[in-house]
Structure 1
Amino acid sequence: MYNKYILFMNMTKKEDYMKTKDFYFDLPEELIAQDPLADRSGSRLLILNKDTGKVEHKIFKNVKEYLRAGDCLVLNNTKVIPARLIGEREGTGAKVELLLLKRMENDVWETLVKPGKKARTGSRIVFGNGLLVGEIMDIVEEGNRYVKFYYDGIFEEILDQLGQMPLPPYITHQLQDKNRYQTVYAKYEGSAAAPTAGLHFTKELLEEIEKMGVVIAHVTLHVGLGTFRPVKVEDVTNHHMHSEYFQVFPDEAEKINAAKRAGNRVICVGTTSCRTVESAADENGFVKPGSGDTDIFIYPGYQFKVLDCLITNFHLPESTLLMLVSALAGKEQVMAAYEEAVKERYRFFSFGDAMLIL
């Protein structure tokens, strides 16, 4: 188990605290991408130089122009499960929506239940006319629930039959192909949301990148509420991240460490890959293999140990993801780049366009 990382700024004056509202920007609703593009790598790519603030506009497949032999590209190979279940409260028939967040043990999951007020300990929810039954075991922090499931057969097969892909609430269109909410390299099931920066890669593009001499390393972080929970406090430092499970295998850690030793760049694809390598890093900036839970919260003032560059999507205002990006490239430069992206009509959020921070 790794130590949990929370960065606290050394601030002396109340007015010096970093405010959540400092990360707000106006986003026209029509810029929220509702559907994935037909060509994954055909999305737009904004290049931001973190040293100069210079911005360039490209197409995602042009990302190859900014990579070089010896770079290590770090991908999060988690796989989204059909984690959204719609059922009925036993006895009343009232509709209940349940989102699987984290597998615990003995068929117990940490979940988010809607509506949550009536999800009391001992109450039962029936899915698929009894194919699956969930019993509320306990109330977790911030209203989440531990739910024990009862079923005959294999849980994953029942979930595949009854569950829906857990698209974010700002996506209102029905997803025609559920594989478009998976990366082409998704492998280990466990996420309640996709690591969306990786959705831009095709297998062909990754093969071209490898042929250039770029090393591709895979890590796993099962995306849960920690990544997307809104910041509800005024002072950023008072926000607490929900923990998420991650794993780094020894051979993958060595790929990253070899690049560091050679003086080459580590380029993370997505904030989840970034949070994984930073959680697994030792004091010298090398990645330790292993697994555990992390609630690392990265915001301006954080000193990156492993990551040099980042490929990421455009994030929600006042989100922890926007704060992480600002920690890498500076809040003023990032907010200016976002203003430029809005002006240039970039597509935002999960199915939107991408940004490369160099």
Structure 2
Amino acid sequence: MTTSPNPREIAIADFNYTLPDDRIAAFPLADRDASKLLVYEKGQISQGQYRQMANYIPGNYLLVFNKTKVVEARLFFTKPTGATIEIFCLEPHPSYTDITTAMGKSGSVLWNCLVGGATKWTTGLVLEKNIVSKYGQLTLKAAIESRNTDTFTIRFEWMPIRLSFAEILHEFGVIPIPPYLNRSTEITDAERYQTIYAQQEGSVAAPTAGLHFTRRVFEDVHKKNITTAFVTLHVGAGTFKPVKVLQIADHDMHAEYIDVDLNTIMELKAANGRIIAVGTTSLRTLESLYWMGVKAALYPHNKLGELEIRQWEVYDELQTHSIPVNDALQILLDRMETESISRILCKTQIMIVPGYPVKMVKGLITNFHQPKSTLLLLVAALIGPDWKKIYQYALDNDFRFLSYGDGSLIWCHQA
């Protein structure tokens, strides 16, 4: 495949295409697995439906899913003057070790947020909202703790204090569907903007490739001896952050939390490379695990939770220390035993663009992404310039785009 001699020099303008508004799926289909599936392999394109997924994957492959759960991260408060303040909860304050811990906080919590109508909210003014729910009378208060460069740190306090922040968001908040859907959240989004296997609360956006999977699809792939494993990457709003710079080197990739248990790493090692990532978030998690194994070898005195993957280091110093995949995974397993831990909790900022050497997977299942997005760059990293052929085929054959749209099974050129 064609690669840039320096991934930092990639011009984002080269990853543009025209996406008409009427091709963006504002709502999901009635049946999840009725969505179209574009299949790309060795330069050839065919199509079917998600419910036929088992027909396109050989037996003895491992499908890896992201089991994160979207939280009701959008909160609306009304000031005494009647003005509306919208708070979008992005991620917990850095003082918490991980999202699960922060979600479990009771009584109060600090959260980094975007604020709509911030000019109407003076520091010191405490916003309050009261509702009646299955827990009885609930009160939620919000106050500005600090103003950051791009966000606000908000202190939330609530009664009764026995409830967790996850429970509070579920009662007070709204599912944050993507802005490009150009509509308000509806009741059905609470179910449909969530995978059927979602477990760990913490995302503000869905891992959308998984939205198409049903129990029927899982049953069919299992009958073919295709196995499944689950990782967690809590999707941040930065996933949809548009690239506004000319060269990708100037784009700041968001960091996200990953959570992978020991049994899953053992399954990845046993798969011997016969792995397909379901979604870009699963792929970023898998590739991050590989580089964590490399860093664990390079920095034997650092704990695994300290081995955060930074945006460009996989193209620089780490690349010169590449090792076989199963060696990297075994290093992780050995270190987990040494540290007496059963899960890896860490942050990753990995950015996968053309020029990146894919390590962990043979293929990717993914939706069709926005023009000039980091997600489109990731697809191009796997298959090179053929991304243009795939997207033109999808446009010419009435595929639906973005989160609620159709998807693709892409076999990597590098595989």
TM-score of the aligned structures, taking structure 1 as reference length: 0.89
CA contact (8 A) 2:50 2:217 kept: no
The percentage of counterpart residues that share the same residue type is 39
Report the equivalent of 1:37. Answer: 29
Take 1:210 and 1:277, find their aligned partners in 2: how far apart are those partners?
Answer: 21
Q: Is residue 258 of structure 1 aligned with residue 267 of structure 2?
A: no
Q: Is residue 300 of structure 1 aligned with residue 354 of structure 2?
A: yes
Report the equivalent of 2:238. Answer: 226
In the TM superposition, what whole-angstrom CA distance separates every residue of 1:63-95 from its partner, at most 9, and x where no partner exists? 211212221100000011111111124x54421
Deviates more, 1:119-128 or 1:294-303: 119-128
Take 2:240 and 2:125, find their aligned partners in 1: how far apart are those partners?
Answer: 27
Following superposition, the deviation at residue 119 of structure 1 comes to 5.2
Gaps of 5+ in 2: 97-107, 132-137, 295-323, 333-342
The within-5 A match list for 1:101-250 is: 101-104=90-93, 105=96, 107-118=109-120, 121-128=123-130, 131-141=139-149, 143-153=150-160, 154=163, 155-171=165-181, 172=183, 174-177=185-188, 178-250=190-262
Report the equivalent of 1:77. Answer: 67
CA contact (8 A) 1:215 1:255 kept: no
Report the equivalent of 1:3. Answer: none
Take 1:61 and 1:157, find their aligned partners in 2: how far apart are those partners?
Answer: 34
In the TM superposition, what whole-angstrom CA distance separates every residue of 1:218-272 from its partner, at most 9, and x where no partner exists? 0001111231111111101221111111111000111111112xxx511000000
Q: Which has the larger radius of gyration?
A: 2
CA contact (8 A) 1:102 1:109 kept: yes
CA contact (8 A) 1:87 1:128 kept: no
Change (3 A) 1:349 1:68: same
Q: Is residue 67 of structure 1 aligned with residue 57 of structure 2?
A: yes
Deviates more, 1:189-198 or 1:107-116: 107-116
Report the equivalent of 2:86. Answer: 97
In the TM superposition, what whole-angstrom CA distance separates every residue of 1:96-139 from its partner, at most 9, and x where no partner exists? 11111112346111211113455565443333478211111123
Gaps of 5+ in 1: 1-7
Take 2:171 and 2:366, find their aligned partners in 1: how far apart are those partners?
Answer: 32
Cα RMSD after superposing both structures: 2.1
In the TM superposition, what whole-angstrom CA distance separates every residue of 1:161-197 from its partner, at most 9, and x where no partner exists? 2111110112226434211111010011111011000
Take 1:193 and 1:256, find their aligned partners in 2: how far apart are those partners?
Answer: 25
Q: Which has the higher helix share?
A: 2
User: Which of residues 279, 284, 289 is equivalent to 1:280?
Assistant: 289
In the TM superposition, what whole-angstrom CA distance separates every residue of 1:248-302 from its partner, at most 9, and x where no partner exists? 1000111111112xxx511000000001111111343244451111111111111
Give secondary structure in 2 for the equivalent of 1:334.
helix
State the number of aligned residues. 340
Change (3 A) 1:71 1:121: farther
Take 1:225 and 1:112, find their aligned partners in 2: how far apart are those partners?
Answer: 10
In the TM superposition, what whole-angstrom CA distance separates every residue of 1:297-323 from its partner, at most 9, and x where no partner exists? 111111112122000000111111111
Take 2:275 and 2:248, find their aligned partners in 1: how far apart are those partners?
Answer: 27
User: Which of residues 22, 27, 45 is equivalent to 1:55?
Assistant: 45
Report the equivalent of 2:406. Answer: 353
TM-score of the aligned structures, taking structure 2 as reference length: 0.77
In the TM superposition, what whole-angstrom CA distance separates every residue of 1:24-69 from its partner, at most 9, and x where no partner exists? 11011111101111111100001112xx321111111122112122
